[in-house]
Chain A
Amino acid sequence: MTGPGALGRRRMLGLALASPALVVLLGAVPEALPRRKAKFSYTSRELKIRVAVPDLLRTTDKQAMKMLDGGYPTRLVYDMAVYAKGSRTPSAAVHVEVSVQWDPWNQDYIVQTTIGAGSPTVRRYALRADAIKASTTLSVAVAKTSDIPRGEDQIHFVQVIAQRNPIEAKSSGAGGAARGQDRDLEVFSRWVGMFVRTRPKAEKVIEFRTHPFYVPHG
């Protein structure tokens, strides 16, 4: 005799046992990312997002501030993608690059923002905190409104991957031409590369998703 209570307990037990495996499996799924708040607005043409990632570049990060005040540019790269709930394919995506740099001639900070393949826009700030806030707070069009299905039952969220000073991977083209000891060295370096467990993609990487939203019918 199996009652509904027994079935529920079994289901709960099964979920409890499977949850660690689910966490591992869903690690790459956008919906499994931590959630942060963001503001959404829309016009007839585009859907805009306003989101802040203050932990990407903090004034308490001494190394980052040292580099910034030393006049070295700091690159902040944002990749944002709009997902319909339950889907793993983005409806729209945008790539934003922000560069913050101290200008010792004009005694101010330059914040240069490039959205997609567009032209860069430059803003200047006398205070470092203002420059950091401007570079870590984005207000961009993330999708065309026409690309987003409307209605209360059409739930979306935005996945944000923010990187500080990302490391560009280079493709080596000299591997095939090497001979003798150079070729062995090439093979050995690849062999060693197989045992490097952590390959940092950037100085800092923050991944999250926004709270769900929907675009009402017009």
Chain B
Amino acid sequence: MAERGSSRRGGGRSRRGTAGFRAVERRRELQERPPWWGRLEARITISLVAIGILCVGASSYLVALSVGYYDQVSERQVELQDETLSLAEPYYEELASAQRDAFLARTELLPHELGAIDDAELEAFLDRWIRARANVVEVVVERPGVEAVIVGRPDPATFIDERARVSLDGWIHVPIEWPLSEAGGLVRVTWAVDPTIRTRHRRLGELARGLGAVEVKDAGGEQSMAERDEVRQAVIAALGIASSLVLFVAILAGILIARRTTRKVSDLSSVMRQVASGELSVRAPRLGADELGQLAAAFNIMLDELEHTRRRIAYLQRVGAWQEMARRIAHEIKNPLTPIQLAVQQLREKDPGTDARFSALLRDSVEIVEDEVEALRRMVTSFSQFAKVPEVELEPVDLGRVLGEFERAYAHVDAALEVEALAEPIEVLGDRQLLKQVLVNLAENAALSAREAGVEEPEIHVSAARVGDRPLACVVVEDNGPGITAERRELVFEPYETTRAHGTGLGLAIVKKIVLDHGGEVSVGESEALGGARFEIRLRLA
């Protein structure tokens, strides 16, 4: 059983040792920065870049699909237009052929009409014949053995079609020949065709040539024609480069935003790692008013409270150690004091008085011993009081009552004590007797300090009030003594720290211990009203 128990104890030590080792390892791990790919900044940047690439890629793909779709539609339109032009193209030839046939048919009739016309009336007949037809320019009649008769339109430059506003000279001339008779000869009639047909057909040709080509503008705004395939590739290239530019800007913006956001997290993480490694004095920087800023502020408050608690615990531990030492010293010193005092009293009583010089020496020595014993006894009493500060029993206490009892019970203090009446009832969580002791200690400390500093009329002012909206009450004890220098303000609460000739350095330590046991705070500063020290005690409201 003993072995098992020993084994258990050993195992327990081993577990504690392992746990301690793990804690050290964990702290070491916390102090190391994660690799770049594990950092938040890198992850957010990579995520933003990936999202950017995905968005731009998807948009580019959709655009490419749109371009392809409209290209297909355009191609179909081009095919339809090509087909339309192919169908329209023969009409020009067919129209010309039909008109030529019509001219031929009308020219064929002329020889029949000329059969009954004799030579003298030929020119006049032809003139009438031409005037009767708007699109005849000239008629030539060649008879065998006779000089040819040529009759032209008398006014070929006039407009024959007011709507077209084109003179006959500008028309297409179509000369048609036909035999005059079986005996020989011929007639040649020059017909005119409206040139608008040719103009339209020329335009049709231009459209046919431009089919499938697209007008593009260069950087100077000059238009030129380019093949559809070439334009499609140019559109895709232009979109690709534009998308790349957008992606580049997005990546740049992403990196900047990620860096700006993650810098706060990084700063906070750095502070947290330092805290985790035991450095409680660091504080997170101000990170703005967003959630991270609030987190940093809350973290700083937590650190403040942690630091405060740590100091409080350290102080109480220190005071506890001093109390234990004081108790032992008091015990060790107190025991021999009574025998010493009895012994010297016996020596004084047993003096035969035969030798005056001896008697005087004895008397002086006994007095010295008794004085020192008394001094030691007082010291022991102080030590005992310090060692036996009772446990605080918290309950709602009327602060006004505490101040009143303090004023009545300790009016004997060698100073002008003034207790300010409360403006409103204040109830705190505390131990009435111990709170009174706190006030007594502070008042006595103030009075003695003032006296030792040579102040003829020491003044002590005690007041209490609520602290704003916080659930705290503040009790203030001010005096007109020498005050406490800024360098010593933290030290005055340490046990056995005193500048007074007859002080034990325990009064203020007892004050602080009692206040801390109340969950409160005590601090010392300079009194503006009286010019001496100003002690502030903050207690929790009930």
Binding site for B on A (CB under 8 A): 67, 70-73, 103-106, 165, 167, 169-172, 175, 186, 188-200, 203
Q: Which of B219-248 contact A (CB under 8 A)?
A: 219, 221-227, 230-231, 233-235, 237-238, 241-242
Q: Considering only CB atoms, which chain A residue lies closest to B93 in the complex?
A: A104
User: Nearest Cβ in chain A — how far from B418, in angstroms?
Assistant: 83
Docked Cα-Cα span, A125 to B236, in Å, equals 49
Docked Cα-Cα span, A190 to B222, in Å, equals 9
Selected from B92, B202, B224, the residue in CB contact (under 8 A) with A104 is: B92
Binds A, one of B204-212, B319-327, B344-352, B426-434: B204-212
Residues of chain B with a CB closer than 8 A to A165's CB: 209
Indicate whether B193 reaches chain A with its CB closer than 8 angstroms: yes
> Do residues B235 and A172 form an inter-chain contact, with CB atoms below 8 A?
no
Q: List 6 A-B contacts (CB under 8 A).
A: A70-B208, A172-B223, A193-B234, A195-B233, A196-B216, A200-B225
> Do residues A70 and B209 form an inter-chain contact, with CB atoms below 8 A?
no
Selected from A73, A172, A189, A199, the residue in CB contact (under 8 A) with B202 is: A73
Q: Considering only CB atoms, which chain A residue lies closest to B95 in the complex?
A: A104
Indicate whether B114 reaches chain A with its CB closer than 8 angstroms: no
> Do residues B92 and A70 form an inter-chain contact, with CB atoms below 8 A?
yes
Could you list 7 further interchain pairs (A-B, Cβ under 8 angstroms) beyond the known A71-B198, A167-B225, A190-B218? A70-B208, A71-B89, A193-B219, A196-B234, A197-B234, A199-B216, A199-B226
> Do residues B205 and A73 form an inter-chain contact, with CB atoms below 8 A?
yes
- A-B pair count, CB < 8 Å, reads 104
Residues of chain A with a CB closer than 8 A to B225's CB: 167, 199-200
User: Nearest Cβ in chain A — how far from B192, in angstroms?
Assistant: 10
Docked Cα-Cα span, A170 to B224, in Å, equals 7
User: Nearest Cβ in chain B — how far from A169, in angstroms?
Assistant: 5
> Do residues B235 and A192 form an inter-chain contact, with CB atoms below 8 A?
yes
Selected from B209, B216, B218, the residue in CB contact (under 8 A) with A203 is: B209
> Do residues B205 and A195 form an inter-chain contact, with CB atoms below 8 A?
no
Selected from B100, B224, B242, the residue in CB contact (under 8 A) with A105 is: B100
User: Nearest Cβ in chain B — how far from A67, in angstroms?
Assistant: 6
> Do residues A193 and B208 form an inter-chain contact, with CB atoms below 8 A?
no
Q: Considering only CB atoms, which chain B residue lies closest to A200 in the complex?
A: B225
Q: Which of B276-301 contact A (CB under 8 A)?
A: none
Give the size range of B's interface with the partner: 35 or more
Residues of chain B with a CB closer than 8 A to A196's CB: 216, 226, 230-231, 234
Q: Considering only CB atoms, which chain B residue lies closest to A103 in the complex?
A: B172
- Across the A-B interface, give the 9 residue pairs with the lowest CB-CB distance, nearest first: A72-B205, A104-B96, A195-B234, A170-B223, A195-B237, A105-B174, A193-B216, A196-B234, A199-B224
Docked Cα-Cα span, A67 to B242, in Å, equals 41
The interface residues of chain B, by DSSP majority, are classed as helix
Docked Cα-Cα span, A176 to B340, in Å, equals 118
> Do residues B230 and A197 form an inter-chain contact, with CB atoms below 8 A?
yes
Indicate whether B72 reaches chain A with its CB closer than 8 angstroms: no
Residues of chain A with a CB closer than 8 A to B238's CB: 188, 191-192, 194-195
Residues of chain A with a CB closer than 8 A to B222's CB: 169-172
> Do residues B216 and A192 form an inter-chain contact, with CB atoms below 8 A?
yes
> Do residues B209 and A105 form an inter-chain contact, with CB atoms below 8 A?
no
Binding site for A on B (CB under 8 A): 89, 92-93, 96-97, 99-100, 172, 174-175, 193, 198, 201-202, 204-205, 208-209, 215-219, 221-227, 230-231, 233-235, 237-238, 241-242
Selected from A73, A194, A197, A200, the residue in CB contact (under 8 A) with B219 is: A194
> Do residues A105 and B99 form an inter-chain contact, with CB atoms below 8 A?
yes
Residues of chain B with a CB closer than 8 A to A104's CB: 92-93, 96-97, 100
> Do residues A67 and B208 form an inter-chain contact, with CB atoms below 8 A?
yes
> Do residues B224 and A71 form an inter-chain contact, with CB atoms below 8 A?
no
- Tell me whether A198 and B208 are in contact in the complex, defined as CB-CB below 8 angstroms, given that A71-B92, A192-B216 are known contacts: no
Residues of chain A with a CB closer than 8 A to B96's CB: 71, 104-105
Docked Cα-Cα span, A189 to B227, in Å, equals 15
Docked Cα-Cα span, A73 to B201, in Å, equals 9
User: Nearest Cβ in chain B — how far from A139, in angstroms?
Assistant: 27
Selected from B97, B205, B224, B242, the residue in CB contact (under 8 A) with A167 is: B224
Docked Cα-Cα span, A96 to B226, in Å, equals 25
> Do residues A105 and B230 form an inter-chain contact, with CB atoms below 8 A?
no
Docked Cα-Cα span, A188 to B215, in Å, equals 13
> Do residues A171 and B89 form an inter-chain contact, with CB atoms below 8 A?
no
Residues of chain A with a CB closer than 8 A to B221's CB: 171-172, 175, 190
Residues of chain A with a CB closer than 8 A to B92's CB: 70-71, 104
Residues of chain B with a CB closer than 8 A to A199's CB: 216, 218, 224-226
Selected from B205, B215, B233, B241, the residue in CB contact (under 8 A) with A70 is: B205
- Tell me whether A71 and B217 are in contact in the complex, defined as CB-CB below 8 angstroms, given that A193-B234, A203-B209 are known contacts: no
> Do residues B209 and A194 form an inter-chain contact, with CB atoms below 8 A?
no
> Do residues A200 and B226 form an inter-chain contact, with CB atoms below 8 A?
yes
> Do residues B223 and A67 form an inter-chain contact, with CB atoms below 8 A?
no
- Tell me whether A72 and B202 are in contact in the complex, defined as CB-CB below 8 angstroms, given that A104-B96, A105-B193, A167-B225 are known contacts: yes
Docked Cα-Cα span, A169 to B216, in Å, equals 10
> Do residues A70 and B234 form an inter-chain contact, with CB atoms below 8 A?
no
Residues of chain B with a CB closer than 8 A to A191's CB: 238, 242
The residue among A67, A105, A190, A203 with the most chain B CB atoms within 10 A of its own CB is A105
User: Nearest Cβ in chain B — how far from A126, in angstroms?
Assistant: 14
User: Nearest Cβ in chain B — how far from A190, in angstroms?
Assistant: 5
User: Nearest Cβ in chain A — how far from B532, in angstroms?
Assistant: 80
Residues of chain B with a CB closer than 8 A to A71's CB: 89, 92-93, 96, 198, 201, 205
Q: Considering only CB atoms, which chain B residue lies closest to A174 in the complex?
A: B221
Q: Considering only CB atoms, which chain B residue lies closest to A73 in the complex?
A: B202
> Do residues B216 and A67 form an inter-chain contact, with CB atoms below 8 A?
no
Docked Cα-Cα span, A129 to B221, in Å, equals 41
Residues of chain A with a CB closer than 8 A to B233's CB: 195
Docked Cα-Cα span, A194 to B219, in Å, equals 6
Selected from B99, B209, B215, the residue in CB contact (under 8 A) with A67 is: B209
